Amino acid sequence: MDSVQTVKQRYGIYGRSEKLNQALDTAIRVAGTDLTVLINGESGSGKEVFSKVLHNLSPRKHNQFIAVNCGAIPPGTINSELFGHEKGSFTGATADRKGYFETADGGTIFLDEIAEMPQDTQAYLLRVLESGEFIRVGSSKVLKTNTRVIAATNVNLLDRVRMGRFREDLYYRLNTVPIKVPSLKERREDIMILFRKFAQDFAEKYRTTPIELDETSQELIKNYSWPGNIRELRNAVEQLSVLSDKKDLTAEDLIKIIPDIYSTSLPAVNRLDRQNDSSGMYEREILYQLLYDMKKDLNQLKNMFFQMVQANDLEMPTNMENISVMPIQGEPGSSEPLNWNRVKPDLDGVSIKPVILSKKPEDFDTVEVMEEQLSIDHMEKELITKALKKYNGKRKDAAEELGISERTLYRKIKQFDIEL
């Protein structure tokens, strides 16, 4: 049996990710069987390479291998493409035609984007998988085929099953052996390996010097989410190789080709984004800061309320016994249920009289209800104003507190016309 390293060299697969190695190991082990394989992975992650590994390492390697993109064939013709048709079975059927399953008899069919297959075709495919039998369009003669099926999808097929868009029995028949191809963000240790390989390939193709990245650019490349996976990385390297005048690239060069390079799949804002902020404060960071301040204010209100209960020796309603106290930053404690014995000590046998407030209108202050502004700009302005007040107008300290550059803060002050 071939080793993982041997298969990598043979098929030009680069990377040392453990998840990639596990997927390849599964493919190598199951290649010599006739089991149906379902390859799961995001678009551009390399699922078709795995299908070729499965075919070429099998006893069927000298027979036909046909790759079919189920999403690219119109629903009205896919049955004819897969199973063939008889002359005159529909308009344009001027002669008998063999389908892919008949042509690939003894070989392998790779059904990519299997989730896009129409429901009637799914029923025909299920019959092929269970008995090896199929019928051409417009015929009544049952034909046999000995074809191995490898399917691939970039969506969750179980979700399609729950929505009634994919047959459950077909799903379990295809999913005999599942192989999960990791996305590029799941194998970040391989990103720079692939970058250097693509850079070298394009340098040879266009007869130039391979492009290189400085330390900051490498971090950006590794932290980017790469929604298009290896295909997107390869395209980006080719564009950089052709369009860049210099070969030592910086973050500014990357952002021209990948405008979303500062975006990450993490909930926190990239530190490099803050240090090289040239496009302004990001709304997500503002919202996180605002939510954090709201949580802190809420915790302070809770603690103030419980202190008032204790100071006035009040009895708490029984339906509030499950309320938890969350500590605010800098205070000891945890979010455990409140111990009412600490709040209301030794109340047994004591008659508690409620506090009754006067209903006279003159005893209350007039309250004006103000509608809260929820725009991003208003939130930005409010946070910047708070930070400047906190540090007595010192922009450097305020910028550090906000997590942005001093230049960006100065621009925001002018934008929002904030008085210092």
Tens digit of each residue's pLDDT (9 = 90 or more) over 199-234:
999 999 999 999 999 999 999 999 999 999 999 999
Q: Which residue has the higher pLDDT, 239 or 416?
A: 239
pLDDT exceeding 70 applies to what percent of the chain?
78
Return the pLDDT at 367: 55
Return the pLDDT at 20: 96
Return the pLDDT at 402: 82
Return the pLDDT at 317: 59
Is domain 186-275 given the CATH code 1.10.8.60 in the classification?
Answer: yes
Return the pLDDT at 341: 46
Kindly report, residue by residue over 100-125, the tens digit of the pLDDT: 999 999 999 999 999 999 999 999 99
Q: Which residue has the higher pLDDT, 305 or 12?
A: 12
Is residue 45 predicted with pLDDT exceeding 70? yes
Per-residue pLDDT band at 274 (split at 50, 70, 90):
very low
Return the pLDDT at 123: 95
Residue 247 and residue 154: Cα distance in Å, rounded? 35
CATH 1.10.8.60, the chain: domain bounds: 186-275
CATH 1.10.10.60, the chain: domain bounds: 283-315+325-348+369-416
Per-residue pLDDT band at 321 (split at 50, 70, 90):
very low
Return the pLDDT at 319: 53
- Tell the CATH superfamily of the 4-182 domain: P-loop containing nucleotide triphosphate hydrolases (3.40.50.300)
For all residues of the chain together, what is the average pLDDT?
82
Per-residue pLDDT band at 264 (split at 50, 70, 90):
low
Is residue 284 predicted with pLDDT exceeding 80? no
Whether the CA torsion 292, 293, 296, 298 is positive or negative: it is negative
CB 188 within 8 A of CB 225: no
Contacts of 121 (CB under 8 A, 6+ apart): 75, 78, 79, 82
* Angle, helices 18-31/47-56, rounded to nearest 10 degrees: 30
Residue 3 and residue 16: Cα distance in Å, rounded? 14
Per-residue pLDDT band at 318 (split at 50, 70, 90):
low
Contacts of 192 (CB under 8 A, 6+ apart): 218, 221, 222
Q: Which residue has the higher pLDDT, 305 or 211?
A: 211
**Number of H-type helices and E-type strands within the chain:** 18, 9
Return the pLDDT at 297: 78
Is residue 245 predicted with pLDDT exceeding 90? no
Residue 345 and residue 365: Cα distance in Å, rounded? 34
Return the pLDDT at 197: 95
What's the one-letter identity of residue 383? L
Return the pLDDT at 374: 60
Is residue 353 predicted with pLDDT exceeding 80? no
CATH 3.40.50.300, the chain: domain bounds: 4-182
Per-residue pLDDT band at 346 (split at 50, 70, 90):
very low
**Where is mean pLDDT largest: 202-206, 403-407, 415-419?**
202-206
Tell me the CATH number for domain 283-315+325-348+369-416: 1.10.10.60
